[in-house]
Structure 1
Amino acid sequence: MKAIFKFLLLLFLINIDVLQGGLVFSNRSSSILISPGGKLYLQDTNSIAGWSRESIVQTSGNNSPINWDPSWTGDNSITYQVAPEPFLPENRGDITLQVYYHELKTDLLLGPNRHFIIQSSPSTNYTFIQGNGYTINLAEGFSNLIQIEAGQTVEIANTVIKNYDENGIYLPAGATLKFLNSTIEITDNRALYKPLNLAGEVIINGYGYTVSMNPGAYVNIDAGQLTINNVVFYGIGGQNLACKTADTNLILQNCNLFLTDNYRFKNGGLQMIDSTISGFEGFNFESSQTFSISRTVMFDTGITFSYSPSNDRRDLLYMDDSSILYLNGCTLRTTITGMQLTTGTLIVNGQNHVYNDGAVSLSQAFLLGNGNPANDLDIEILPGASISLESGKLLYANVNL
């Protein structure tokens, strides 16, 4: 299972009086599943390590004699309450959850006669919804189809969100919503004004539609990897499309990032596949991780690409033999860190400029090739095109013609 270890302890018609030797939950998805007829007694919760809100003790099946709603109240402290599973109607009627944990057993189609209302349970203002691969479909053109209570924290995992539109989600003051290991489908042009918080292995499919990023909107990946396919992002700037930690990754495939302000990519790895950066602003790469260029990536007219990683490596732009970096009237800027392009193909169109500010030696230069013939960079300058060095050093280090 992708980067996640799933621990399932099946208990059939047995009683466990004491957990001997300690019980360790390895990560947020580790859990205990109690099947129908099973009972689990926790006598000394100090013997449990790694327990958190996501370490779910749950029951399976309508015939189970217990149906617990576990609540997290602090280190090694667990409380329970009876929480009958809500009935999910097949057709009309609102669905109201007042439990800590819930599993989807079918696809949900939400519309004007059917809302998904998530409220706090008596002991906690946190709700975890395990989607099990099912779909939550937001009917096009309707608002507040998912309603989250003020102050409530909701995480929805392993779910396909169809027709995603933030107008379909009611998030009052203090309420937060995060999607984990899920797929989000955008089926029309959308305007975002609110945060979209993600974690785990998340995919956004845009089908060529435009997502406009307005003040207050951002797309954050807290942990794991976000893959965005076929989206035109308008209004990229600041850090409104961001990896939050160094071990997260952002993959953009068949995307166009249209910058309306200077943009900073500060953390994590970045891979662009058949994608374009456009606008008349700066794209500042400041991460210590790799920026991979796959197939064809274009820096369009007016873009200033600044390479200033948080470490001193100048080789973080990775290209393989099939990679094409297309400069279409842009500016490349780096400092004494330098910047290195190897393998693949560099295509130059229009008037392009290179700034290697502060460089006084070749060790600080903008580097094409690296002296190893296996890493030679193919360079194609189209008719009438140019690339001019405005400051610093430019070292041509290809070996072969």
Structure 2
Amino acid sequence: MFARKGYVLALLALLGLSTTINATLNFSSRESRIIAGSTAQFLVRSAISNFNGTLEISDVDATGNRIAGTANIAFEDGILETNYSASCSMQARFTGAYNRADGDTITLAGDAAATPDRLRFEAGASIPAINVTTAYNRIEGSPIFTDESVIAIAASSAVELAITTKFNSTITFAAASGVVTLIDSLYLDDAAVIAGDGKIDINGKSLHLQGKETSWATDLVFTNAGDIELHSKTTLSGTWYFSDTSGDDATVNGNGNILEFGAGGIIHVEQGVGLALTDVVVRNLGDSASYGQFIMDDGTATIKLSNTSLLLSENISWTMGAMLVHGSDCTIVTAGYTLGFDSKMGLSVDNVTLWYDTLSSGDEKNIKYTPSGGSETDYADDGAHINYENNGVIRCAVAGAEDSISYSSSSTMTKNEVISSSRTMTFSAAATLTGGGYAIEWARGSSGANAMVLGANAVTLTGVVLKNFHTAGVSGIANLSIGDDVSIELAADESITTAWNFTGSSTASTIYGKGCKLTLGVANALNISNGVTLNLQDVKVAGITPTNDIEIACAAGTYSTSKLVLKDTQLEFAGEYPFAEASIDISGDCLFGGRTAAASFGLRTSGTMTILADSTLTIDRNFTFTYEGRPIAGSSNANGMEKIVFTNAVTSRLYLNGCEFRTSTTGAKLSGGRLVIDDKVTFSSGAHHDASALKIDTDLTVEILAGAVLDMYGYIEYAA
């Protein structure tokens, strides 16, 4: 509550007196107050200006108000308190007019941006009807709205809303020139109504629409539309006009709900504005006033679709603007209709698939380039009007719309391919398939099983993106070699039950996990030929044991030139795992940990473990990291004590978190980076003399965090 201390300058009506005020009032502070008590009337016969104290009105009942008279009270950063009942009470600090002649409403009429009329409610205060009559006004706080809490905005008037409670009343625009600006995100309760044509400056915040099905029939201009969130089916028969966005896209986030056009409904995008439609189903879209329409002012007005469906109700020919499909696959349900793009309208599909679904109609290439005065042509990547970027593609969703794919010899892909159990990619002979950067995408779930058929034929894939790749998706996967420059993208957690063979020699391949778990369920699950670099990015590799392992091929008496590059990746060990060959690079935030007491990682390789700049390797709680000092291949460091390499003295970090760091009899040396000690960490040296000690170089920054313990056993040396 606002402070109630101060002087009571006028106890005008505590004894049942009827008191008339028609003179100037002067208050020494805002806490000085006039109290219209339970048995009193305060008669205001003349207007009061610059009321900068507190007016308290209490216990109004059915017999009449405690404030009588018809003159208004103009507050100047004063406080109005009403305590009528538990359900009708208010405490507000404001500059504006308290209107006795207009049913105890409030008028805001600020005349300058620097000194707006301001109405600030305490939490839980009931809000009266408010009239906004000029351009510089503000309402703020956490009030309770009632049926009477109508905010009426006059023509050419504006109000800023900094309301943190759900709005469940009515905002009424008298004319399209009225403006509401959001200072905080606005949440509309199911009872909320926005009536009349006007402008809402979302101001980079969020406007959350009602949780029940609603209809919007008026014309609203949205500026700086950070995002409009749908929480139910929404019907639009008026116009939503998206204007200036100060450089950021306006966004309508459907949250999986339907945005249905009524007759005459329009989404209008201004020149230079981008409108993102995300996770929404847009229904009843057409090209005439009988349906809903998209209107774009010129070629710089852009509609951007992600995880969105558009349902056509008639043929459409868009003649102006741009459309971008990106982020996630989208669908245009054309049925038997056609979506046409004129020469001044461009469609770009970036790294996703734009599906068109003809329902029960046949495939008639229902997306077309339809230039004015020219012949229409079926969709194709012409680089201008219809443009595929980063292997994006347009495809028909009708089952059987495209034939299965068959290769009898080596070949090069010319487009992206989607395969499934009903549209397979079959190899009838040994072959190398060169992707040229195109993608093979497996249908998700069981419909992707055995979508690639190898049989007994040895097949090598190079230069291709394998989307939604999984073991069950390839029949004969034991005969598949993953060659140079192949990117495997997981769509779900995956268990490897037949080894994945990586056989490239010149360009790294990548497993891009997208946060999924990859469990090694078979011997040599990730089988890497000598000389191969394999990137593991944003993936959790689990179930690693001495058998179910990342196997690095290496001939006896030689050392491996292979490399694992871990980027934002976790390795979860289920046993004692000796990393005996190859090198490891650590990029981003990586973690080694285990689920069993026996879980450990042994760095036994003749290669190195390099922690790159801006990167951290965390050794997790109750896990053992063992360093064995084999000579480093091709290095002058013959005793192998410096296998762990920090490339940056400040940002390359080894984070030991409640674990054991153990060295063999040949010792180890840590230098040139940052070592962080958290929880209880044990250093255990197996050295028999100080020459093979675990050496902490003075140029290694060691941070022992608050409450951490460093427990040391054996020969530990700190020296330059």
* TM-score when normalising by structure 1: 0.70
Higher mean C-alpha deviation, range 235-244 or range 341-350? 235-244
- Which amino acid in 2 is paired with 1:299? I
Specify which of 563, 569, 572 is matched with residue 258 of structure 1.
Answer: 572
Q: CA deviation at 1:248?
A: 1.1
| C-alpha deviation, 1:144, in angstroms | 0.1
- Aligned residue in 1 for 2:610: 292
1:224 CA drift (Å): 2.8
Question: Structure 2: how far apart are the matches of 1:309 and 1:179?
Answer: 32
Query: Does residue 145 of the first structure (1) align with residue 468 of the second (2)?
Result: no
Give the match for residue 195 of structure 1: 499
CA distance in 1, matches of 2:687, 2:666: 9
Match of 2:490 in 1: 186
> CA offset at residue 309 of structure 1?
4.0
Q: State the Cα distance separating 1:91 from its structure 2 match.
A: 4.4
Displacement of 1:95 in angstroms is 1.9
Per-residue CA distance 1:310-349 (angstroms, 9 max, x = gap) = 3221001001211111111111111222111112211111
Gaps of 5+ in 1: 1-89, 121-125
Whether 1:395 aligns to 2:395 is no
Partner residue, 1:342: 671
Aligned-partner residue type, residue 133 of structure 1: G
The one-letter amino acid paired with 1:153 is A
CA distance in 1, matches of 2:582, 2:523: 22
SS in 1 for 2:472: helix
- Aligned equivalents of 2:585 and 2:541: distance in 1? 16
* CA radius of gyration, larger in: 2
- AA aligned to 1:146 is M
Distance 2:678 2:687 in 1: 26
1:365 equivalenced with 2:693 (yes/no): yes
Does the residue aligned with 2:449 lie in a helix, a strand or coil? coil
> CA shift at 1:221, angstroms?
2.5
Equivalent position of 1:75 in the other structure: none
**Partner in structure 2 of residue 94 of structure 1:** 404
In structure 2, the residue matched to 1:207 is 514
Residues 195-226 of structure 1 show CA distances to partners (whole Å, capped at 9, x for unaligned) of: 11112410111111111111346112213311
Contact kept in structure 2, 1:192 and 1:214, CA below 8 Å: yes
Match of 2:46 in 1: none
1:219 to 526, 546, 551: 526
Structure 1 counterpart of 2:433, from 100, 115, 129? 129
> Could you give the per-residue CA deviations for residues 68-89 of structure 1, whole angstroms, max 9, x where no partner exists?
xxxxxxxxxxxxxxxxxxxxxx
Counterpart among 563, 570, 581 of residue 249 in structure 1 = 563
**CA distance in structure 2 between the aligned counterparts of 1:316 and 1:310, rounded to whole angstroms:** 9
**TM-aligned CA deviation for residue 96 of structure 1:** 2.1
Contact kept in structure 1, 2:629 and 2:664, CA below 8 Å: no
Q: Indicate the SS of the match to 1:287.
A: coil
What are the within-5 Å matches in structure 2 for residues 314-353 of structure 1? 314-319=641-646, 320-321=648-649, 322-353=651-682
Which of 208, 230, 233 is residue 541 of structure 2 equivalent to?
233
Distance in 2 between the 1:144 and 1:323 partners?
A: 44
Contact 2:680 2:708 in 1 (8 A): yes
Gap runs ≥5 in structure 2: 1-399, 555-559, 632-638
Structure 2: distance between partners of 1:317 and 1:346: 12
Q: SS where residue 518 of structure 2 aligns?
A: strand
Per-residue CA shift, 1:81-134, capped at 9, x if unaligned? Answer: xxxxxxxxx9422222222x11112111102321011122xxxxx311111111
Contact 1:249 1:270 in 2 (8 A): yes
Partner of 2:233: none
Identity of aligned pairs, percent? 23
Aligned to 1:64: none
Q: How far has the Cα of 1:169 moved from its partner?
A: 0.6
Alpha-carbon distance in structure 1 between the residues aligned to 2:466 and 2:427? 16
Which one-letter code corresponds to 1:278 in the other structure? G
Instruction: Indicate the RMSD between aligned Cα atoms, in angstroms.
Output: 1.8
Alpha-carbon distance between aligned partners in 2 of 1:277 and 1:336, rounded to the nearest angstrom: 23
- Inter-partner Cα distance in structure 2 for 1:247 and 1:217: 18
Partner of 1:81: none
Number of aligned residue pairs: give it. 294
In 2, distance between residues paired with 1:218 and 1:309?
27
1:106 is aligned with what amino acid? K
Question: In 2, are the aligned partners of 1:180 and 1:202 still within 8 Å (CA)?
Answer: yes
The AA in structure 2 aligned to 1:284 is G
Which residue of the other structure, out of 250, 267, 278, is the alignment partner of 2:593?
A: 278
Q: State how far apart, in whole Å, the 2-side matches of 1:207 and 1:341 are.
A: 33
Alignment-mate amino acid for residue 443 of structure 2: A
Match of 1:60 in 2: none
In the alignment, the residues of structure 1 paired with residue 664 and residue 568 of structure 2 have an alpha-carbon distance, to the nearest angstrom, of 30
Alpha-carbon shift at residue 163 of structure 1 (Å): 0.7
